[in-house]
Structure 1
């Protein structure tokens, strides 16, 4: 009987040591390196959630990749909502600082993205709360870069950084003044 109690005590002690090491390591990993998130809504269709409300894609979010605010046009990123800091949104980067973007429904037809900001939009225009609603987004609101679809299994894939040709930034301010196609 005493032997079995000793075994339980040793097991419990080893479990506690492992637990108190594993939890901080796991929390640090999820906070600094990568995590997973379920994507809700139609704003990123057809890239994410192509099945509509019947399915939700689960994506891998890479925190490490945006640690120096290094993003490219076409990247799908997670960011803190400029309108609700308790909510994270997922959008595609359309323009970087210094770019001039032709907006879609914004109060200004053209916007020059200020320093330290990006322009983000959902792929499903008209069904997305994005920069066309709230303007350029501070790089400080970046949370992560979405790199892969993990669920459902039939949609496993790497997410490519693709910018639709019609959303390329305007090349010069003169194009804004004289109109571009």
Structure 2
């Protein structure tokens, strides 16, 4: 019994239908990931050198802090709480989380280190001033209010951060930067230096 033209057309139509469904699902998944899970950000300043360089592009996990908590040592992107950026400078900033709500952040001890809740923190990634061991130029001591974060740039001598503008509301955090994607030669996973920050005691 010979196969009719309609019988031969049915498998082709089924293949095309399945292909369209796959493409639509893939596009939808890509949109959802970009819109709700991962976003790309451009680094416009040198305040996070040498961790992040000018013109780097980073991917940001937006599940932090909506699903996973912010932690000390995280490199976070946050919306300008107001007055951090000048006109035409964009809406988002990137800094490292140093103090969580209730933490007391103090600078500096005899070795030039920050202390958080009385625990000195060895920050190997910080850019220091030539000839100085201090991770920041001026002494300070602050207790972080509830619902707020104390953030600082890794390039401490060229970063207008919480020392200048005060704390950042946790609700302003867009997400945690976790990988440098561009330029290709700079591709790397961003570390929160958990071995250092996880040793800090609770307030």
With normalisation by structure 2, the TM-score equals 0.62
Larger relative contact order, structure 1 or 2 (CA cutoff 8 Å, min sep 6): 2
Instruction: Find the partner of 2:50 among 46, 59, 65.
Output: 46
Give matches, 1:67-146, under 5 Å.
Answer: 67-68=66-67, 70-84=69-83, 87-102=91-106, 109-146=140-177
Separation in 2 of the partners of 1:141 and 1:170? 25
* Deviation sequence 1:89-141 (CA, Å, 0-9, x none): 000000101100125578x9311101111100111113112111111111010
Question: Structure 1 residues 148 and 99 mapped into 2: Cα distance closer, same or farther (>3 Å)?
Answer: same
Corresponding residue number in structure 1 for 2:36: 32
Separation in 2 of the partners of 1:161 and 1:39? 18
Corresponding residue number in structure 2 for 1:151: 182
Separation in 2 of the partners of 1:95 and 1:122? 13
Corresponding residue number in structure 1 for 2:56: 57
Deviation at 1:24, TM superposition (A): 6.0
Structure 1 portions without partners, runs of 5+? 1-13, 50-54, 173-181
Question: Structure 1 residues 164 and 123 mapped into 2: Cα distance closer, same or farther (>3 Å)?
Answer: farther
Range with bigger deviation, 75-84 or 17-26: 17-26
Separation in 2 of the partners of 1:159 and 1:21? 31
Structure 2 portions without partners, runs of 5+? 1-16, 108-135
Separation in 2 of the partners of 1:144 and 1:19? 28
Separation in 2 of the partners of 1:134 and 1:19? 47
Deviation at 1:74, TM superposition (A): 0.8
How many residues are treated as equivalent by the alignment?
151
Two-structure CA RMSD over aligned residues (Å): 3.4
Separation in 1 of the partners of 2:99 and 2:194? 10
Please say if residues 69 and 142 of structure 1, whose CA atoms lie closer than 8 Å, have aligned partners that are also in contact: no
Separation in 1 of the partners of 2:100 and 2:154? 17
Corresponding residue number in structure 2 for 1:9: none
Separation in 2 of the partners of 1:88 and 1:105? 25
Range with bigger deviation, 24-33 or 85-94: 24-33
For the pair shown, the structure with the greater C-alpha radius of gyration is 2
